[in-house]
Structure 1
């Protein structure tokens, strides 16, 4: 058994890596194979994977995780302005600042559990959002948002001989511009590394302790086990994931605004995780991809597209179906997403991954049942032995 676990992990990583790197191919039939959208899939997948470490393993539901996403974006843009357009210093700087911010918020919030923890994270995140709009304007540039400017010092770039360009500079990885397909594959590689770290945490003794906290924290505390350091550590790790996602948003678009810290962004990552399957490895990624697909592709379907899709039908039936479906697509995509979320919560509490497990189990039982019938028809091994 000890030898099988690493093999299984390597197999999971091999399959996951292949799926991520071939996204442009298998997303093409769904109309989603363009780099900007695939970057969003990868970035918000990282955000959801990090959130799942906290919520999925411990059961602590944070409604303020978008604060770390915003802090990561601001830190990355400041790195571009002050240091270099190279993305690596920006990512490291964003992760460190997000970790520090997570320590402060986690130290306060984790004094309570349950709904009180959730409300505290929501309140602190909204405070951060309002401060970014008002009090911290010299740092965040308020409503306008933090942007690149021609007068930015970029001390590392100019120290190594970079020249001033006519337009605003582009983010790069040692000269390779982070736009288009290079930008997507960079985000994809970061997603693979983030998923690998999440896998190791899930399979580690630390992950087992987090599951025990979720199962019965009071019993652990009664035995003299101090759970707060573990909760604070996973809260900080989760915040670092969010900071990493925020930095990648700035890498693909060097702009940071307070809207990324709003409570709706925190609610979105909660929705992603629950929809895909909290506490599972792949579920949050499925939820993130589904929501971003709805937001960017499904929302673009209008009445003209529907008429074209139903063009093979008679005109009266075409008009009728378009009239019925139109409220659920285009600007009404939230209605479809809400109905899907309700269906998942009611019928599949474990999210999409629970549905996949049920279908897999049903397929196995069906195959086993057919195999049993085949053995009965041919006499079976037991019958032959008796004979």
Structure 2
């Protein structure tokens, strides 16, 4: 059993905050410090944190969370078009709209559990995708996607006398443009806040009730407890996190398309959560970072780059090494990610956090052995990232 104390939670929060805010520094050696990628790390970290509140605490596996991602994006872009280029109303409306949409989908889907719940959420997501792609084209602009235009009214901006520009104005937070590193730090701060809220949910009586639902829902039903309000609340909170992530996607890149609602986007957040560690606090963020790194950096490695890396080898050996490794990078990055995912699922069912925890325990046990001490029988520790 893993125990947690306010002091250890505070330490974890401090380490997480410091790591997020210094990402441009410690990610530079691996080529992942440019703003666009850092923004994706933060945005999909928020998406995965929210998904983990549902999947990690209740065990309900949703394959339809991309619907809320898309709703948040569309709502934010419409806020930019109709109201203001300020990100504050866009985010507020995006989160609220996604939450309301989650109430409807969750109320229907949570009448079933297990695989039937997963299929229902997948069906809703695909219906949402098709509606956005072809039926609701006056709202979503169909396959072209919803974009800003010069003749957008932006009533709030005009009301407060925001000076018109020659082109489409950028999104802003009280005058600060949401591009480059300012855009990253805005997303990063929201991810830190989202992580803190997630931690409080995990440690709260509400979170304990959700864990009880996950461990034995039948026994909870036999006690006469109505679990649906708890699971529906978790579903709505998770959907609002997804709506926040979708809104931030529109903040950093003001457009919205139906592809954000496809089932592949829902599957991606499932992979992130499982890869990092389902039910852990830090795991989903790690999983999101790993997948986005593979998608944006690992996929850019081609044969020319490999030849440059292994230029110290004899030509015949260099060609052989490059021929083999080229299967796992560039267009073959999915193969590497798939192999990593299989290894994690087979040998580390608790995700990458479980691997870090095992390393931590081995180092701790070795130090105790060298110091002539041993952990008391039955003692418990907080594993890193729990």
The normalised TM-score by structure 2 is 0.95
Q: Describe the SS at the equivalent of 1:372.
A: coil
Runs ≥4 residues deviating over 6 A: none
- Corresponding position of 2:229: 229
User: Residue deviations 1:164-193, cap 9 Å, x none?
Assistant: 221111000111100011101101101110
Match of 2:61 in 1: 61
Matched residue, 1:384: none
Q: Which residue of 2 aligns with 1:48?
A: 48
Counterpart of 1:311 in structure 2 is 311
Counterpart of 1:192? Answer: 192
Please name the residue that 1:377 is paired with.
none
User: Partner of 2:327: helix, strand, or coil?
Assistant: helix
Per the alignment, residue 103 of structure 2 pairs with: 103
1:328 correspondence with 2:339: no
Paired position in structure 1 for 2:252: 252
Shift of 1:134: 1.3
CA-based RMSD: 1.2
Instruction: Tell me the CA shift for residue 8 of structure 1.
Output: 2.3
The C-alpha deviation readout for 1:181-233, integer Å capped at 9, x for no partner, is 11011011011100010010011000000000000011011001110000000
Say how many residue pairs are matched: 371
Aligned equivalents of 2:172 and 2:78: distance in 1?
15
Give the 3-state SS of the residue equivalent to 1:232 in structure 2: helix
Shift of 1:45: 0.1
Rounded Cα–Cα distance in structure 1 between residues aligned with 2:372 and 2:181:
51
**1:343 match:** 343
CA distance in 1, matches of 2:321, 2:5: 51
Per-residue CA distance 1:135-173 (angstroms, 9 max, x = gap): 111110000100001111111000000122211110001
Matched residue, 2:220: 220
Q: Distance in 1 between matches of 2:293 and 2:373?
A: 43
CA distance in 2 between counterparts of 1:270 and 1:370 reads 41
- Larger-gyration structure (1/2): 1
CA distance in 1, matches of 2:152, 2:218: 53
List gaps (5 residues or longer) in structure 2: 375-386
What's the offset of the Cα at 1:12? Answer: 1.6
Secondary structure (helix, strand or coil) at the match of 1:44 reads helix
Aligned to 1:71: 71
1:279 partnered with 2:288? no
Q: Quick check: which one's helix share is greater?
A: 1
Distance in 2 of aligned mates of 1:40 and 1:319: 35
CA offset digits 1:302-338 (Å, max 9, x no partner) = 0011011111111111111101100100000000000
The equivalent residue for 1:385 is: none
Give the gaps of 5 or more residues in structure 1: 375-387
Which has the larger displacement, 365-374 or 96-105? Answer: 365-374
